[in-house]
Structure 1
């Protein structure tokens, strides 16, 4: 790292590493005194993603090299070296599921050990043998006759039931991702799935409390999450994203991937107006002789290629929710984020499927941030830093059982 090393209070430094399928991005932030909803940006860096396919590592060294370059740029801007990070995970189709477990209580008085035993109970371990549980958060405790209680310790009951919110990730995916990061001499404090993090960076607490669906349309994956009572209660991933729109443009126009991506960013839209039939776009393409040439296409043709793929994406999201969380229809707000959410008119397409309030989710809570970071493309990156800061400000330890002991027994 070049440049002068600046001395910071290390306890206030938080680093997010967003490992995506199109880019690797690193953000170094500093928590603000007496403020757990904002973070001061110190350093930012990004690099094209390599060695990754649909969130899964296919080349350790290529991915490690890309991570190193993104981190080095952030370090140089911040004037400090980092060793610990908070990271996202998207590969292997991670998911969040609510489970219900119960135990019988000896002598009908609930003890600390009963609560811990129930919290540690994982009846679904054999069902999801290729996955590991990275998060288990109590949703509700219930005693006899289904009565919901806050803290069950000391209460009289023959049984104790726990509704818990569980997050599972693929064992091999998280292991390979961790190895790639370790090659950069970095340590992961915590992994988070994208929907959980996006809820932190794009929503205010009232939205997370009342209920909202968060949809992140990434390069090759789209994540779906549902927040209610300030907790992520459902999440899933589907294998479709912005890269599929780019691929459609390549096939439909006969151009190269780089040109198609540029067209999507500069002229991409899902809405046609009367002028689009007369507005021509200059496209570089390969002719029958294999030569690079230029040709004009009406913008309406571009939209005609993009719109069906966007509609397919939302159809798959709706089908996913219908199959796994039918109560999604009770949610009155949908937030769309990720790079593809920059497409003009995408909110209106979403509204035709959800029939509720739709908005584009941009990062909130950043101070001194460059304009680039205000884009939906960096919602996950921002959320990783905000989450790390809030965890520390709340004096919650990363260890799951230590957090629970603090919650119940202090």
Structure 2
């Protein structure tokens, strides 16, 4: 079979990551990666175009060399900041018996974009929740069924501020590649959950450099998502201030000695720190450092809880899943487990070469791309199984109803620090999709029907012209 590749770009606040992957029956095989640290991104958005552009070029080059693939087309991940999540319905009609295929599904989903009436925003993701053939025949996948008069889709919709979308695509495409499609982290996070977690109701917490993003899934679908402007950089700043040292030194100390749960930190692990106002060094223990880190990580989690309460999400029966670069810190799981009644796990991608939480978003973008390629018949891949994760055996947590707050089942009692015991198979890179903002020729699809350029892609072209 002809080789097909998916290339994703994750523009993060601390680094830009590119993954080249291919689909196998048992998941995604990563065949090349690139990562470039940059100062051109802040809060997940372009801060300095030239610096960000150079970092994107560098990471694409690294991934191309590592994989042996000439990268021309990519899938782009977008942050949750500036996005809205809502539901919408659209129906397309037929005037004769019609066998449904991927083109009809795409037409139904594309029609939802026209219904967006929020000025300054653009719909980037529409994902089906339910299909209805001829009014009341509910199906999960209508392909190959015959419709006499209509196909309706109930879909989830993710819209983002138009300026964010344009700037991201412009910066990536200025590096000599075409953006085939974009996926919000809000949608991507679904692929890090097991089927049980998606069904019961789970909250993903992605702690990045500048942003902490969260998404809630229940009954298999995305319910809502949001972001908090607080992350790993704030932890480093706190360490620098608390230990009277530079930001760079604080960053190194965080990675080497950092621990987010005071109770488990060591008071025997001692390290020396250069001081800002003195030529002498000061000595600290891991427990001293944990006291600083725990306070900030705890604040991040409390902010997440506040968002969940604002969204009216009273139960997280599927548990909390923590990922992102700051999930590498020791004690993050133990701290959150100490704060909530539900199970907690740290998510790390299982693929060789990217077994770090900070790669979760980039590999999830490839998962989203594969899911839609199969749904829309861009490619035909047999035995496509969602990647399942081994669920950890966690002892049941005794739920003390007296410690719950405001009826939120997952929430343990908030305590002040002073009250605690311490203070002291697949797509080619020349694939079937049309880029967002450039004209190109006919598709070379596997078992797919040619389709017209979507209204959204035409809009993107007009915005760039």
2:391 alignment partner in structure 1: none
Q: Distance in 2 between matches of 1:102 and 1:355?
A: 40
Aligned counterpart for 1:257 among listed residues 242, 247, 250: 247
What's the CA shift for 1:142? 8.4
Partner SS, residue 53 of structure 2: helix
Q: Distance in 2 between matches of 1:320 and 1:337?
A: 18
2:155 alignment partner in structure 1: 164
Q: Distance in 2 between matches of 1:84 and 1:342?
A: 31
Structure 2 portions without partners, runs of 5+: 94-99, 379-432, 435-447, 449-465
Matched, 1:297 2:284: yes
What's the CA shift for 1:394? 5.1
What's the CA shift for 1:295? 1.6
Contact in 1 for aligned 2:128/2:156 (Cα 8 Å):
yes
Q: Judging changes above 3 Å, is the alpha-carbon distance between structure 1 residues 387 and 141 closer, same or farther for their aligned structure 2 residues?
A: closer
Q: Distance in 2 between matches of 1:377 and 1:274?
A: 24
Partner SS, residue 61 of structure 1: helix
1:383 alignment partner in structure 2: 364
1:3 alignment partner in structure 2: none
Spell out, residue by residue over 1:178-202, the C-alpha distance to the aligned partner (whole angstroms, 9 max, x if none).
Answer: 11111110111111122322331x3
2:346 alignment partner in structure 1: 360
1:333 alignment partner in structure 2: 319
Q: Distance in 2 between matches of 1:346 and 1:20?
A: 21
Q: Distance in 2 between matches of 1:91 and 1:56?
A: 11
Contact in 1 for aligned 2:197/2:318 (Cα 8 Å):
no
Partner SS, residue 80 of structure 1: coil
Q: Which has the higher helix share?
A: 1
Q: Distance in 1 between matches of 2:226 and 2:15?
A: 21
What's the CA shift for 1:117? 7.8
What's the CA shift for 1:23? 0.6
Matched, 1:47 2:28: no
Superposition pairs for residues 178-327 of structure 1, below 5 Å?
178-200=169-191, 202-273=192-263, 276-287=266-277, 293-324=280-311, 326-327=312-313
Structure 1 portions without partners, runs of 5+: 1-7, 106-111, 400-405
Contact in 1 for aligned 2:240/2:250 (Cα 8 Å):
yes
Contact in 2 for aligned 1:96/1:234 (Cα 8 Å):
yes
1:402 alignment partner in structure 2: none
Partner SS, residue 71 of structure 2: coil
Aligned counterpart for 1:17 among listed residues 3, 9, 25: 9
Q: Distance in 2 between matches of 1:308 and 1:272?
A: 9
Matched, 1:139 2:126: no
Q: Judging changes above 3 Å, is the alpha-carbon distance between structure 1 residues 137 and 307 closer, same or farther for their aligned structure 2 residues?
A: same
TM-score, L = length of structure 2: 0.70
Q: Judging changes above 3 Å, is the alpha-carbon distance between structure 1 residues 310 and 124 closer, same or farther for their aligned structure 2 residues?
A: farther
Matched, 1:176 2:167: yes
Q: Distance in 2 between matches of 1:37 and 1:235?
A: 26
Spell out, residue by residue over 1:298-351, the C-alpha distance to the aligned partner (whole angstroms, 9 max, x if none).
Answer: 322211111111111111111111112x23514332110011112222123222
Q: Which has the higher strand share?
A: 1
Partner SS, residue 245 of structure 2: coil
Matched, 1:71 2:52: no
Q: Judging changes above 3 Å, is the alpha-carbon distance between structure 1 residues 293 and 176 closer, same or farther for their aligned structure 2 residues?
A: farther
Q: Judging changes above 3 Å, is the alpha-carbon distance between structure 1 residues 27 and 141 closer, same or farther for their aligned structure 2 residues?
A: closer
What's the CA shift for 1:122? 6.4
2:442 alignment partner in structure 1: none
Q: Distance in 1 between matches of 2:131 and 2:366?
A: 31
Q: Distance in 2 between matches of 1:275 and 1:235?
A: 32
TM-score, L = length of structure 1: 0.79
Q: Judging changes above 3 Å, is the alpha-carbon distance between structure 1 residues 203 and 54 closer, same or farther for their aligned structure 2 residues?
A: same
* Number of equivalences: 376
Aligned counterpart for 1:94 among listed residues 80, 83, 93: 83
Q: Judging changes above 3 Å, is the alpha-carbon distance between structure 1 residues 49 and 118 closer, same or farther for their aligned structure 2 residues?
A: closer
Deviates more, 1:390-399 or 1:305-314: 390-399
